[in-house]
Amino acid sequence: MKQLEANINGIKAIINECGNHFIICCHGLYSNKDSMKYVEMAELACKNGLSCVRFDFRGCGESTGKFEEATLSNRLKDLDEVVKYVKKNYNASISLFGSSFGGMVAIAYAYKNKIKPLVIMSTPHQVDGIEKNFVEDARKYDLLEMVKTLSHILIIHGRKDEIVPLSHAERIYEIAKQPKKILLFEADHSFSSNNERRKALEEAVAWIKKFRF
């Protein structure tokens, strides 16, 4: 597994190159690229001949910027920088993996740029109860209308999710286009159970490997 670090206009990224298809990981609101989710995703991806990029959105982890600027709109810009970097330097196809708020970013980006396959985990279709500027910005995006156009989507959710109700995952699944799949695990919002997280990520990699373009 070839691993390198990149600074993409202030965005800190870790790139694991193992094949000509890249999984780009979008972390959650208060998370970062070094969460076990994304470290394990990179490992599993490479075992399956897939490359992986995990990065910190602005104001998070090792990236520059202020956290309060890391709205959905600005995270979409950050993701676009990473996608352009991968396409320019590797001439590779891509898919997206997003967790929680990162799943919202992945949905909006996949909609605008016609990207598939897509895997989302613990993802709401709307947010509340967080910083006001994040909520106001997120309301500019009708994610459910976007989901209606998406196919090749895998929805992963924990039955014990204490932050995002299961109904959000069920609604996204209900209106997405085929092929689609929803998988439920005995996990909390962050998939802190090592066993459940591993099983979920294995399913995610299998889905991407099956439908990569």
pLDDT, average across residues 27-56? 97
Residue 9 CB-half CA count within 13 A: 11
Contact 16, 2 (CB under 8 A): yes
CATH of the domain at 101: 3.40.50.1820
Contact 173, 147 (CB under 8 A): no
pTM over 0.85: yes
Q: Which residues contact 59 (CB under 8 A, 6 or more apart)?
A: 65, 66, 67, 68, 69, 70
* Percentage with pLDDT > 90 across the chain: 93
Give the model's pLDDT for residue 1.
Answer: 73
Q: Considering the chain, what is the average pLDDT of its residues?
A: 96
Nearest residue to 1 (alpha-carbon basis) of 54, 42, 57: 42
- Enclosing domain of residue 67: 2-211
Q: What is the pLDDT of residues 79-99, one digit of tens each?
A: 999 999 999 999 899 999 999
Q: What is the number of domains present in the chain?
A: 1
Give the model's pLDDT for residue 27.
Answer: 98
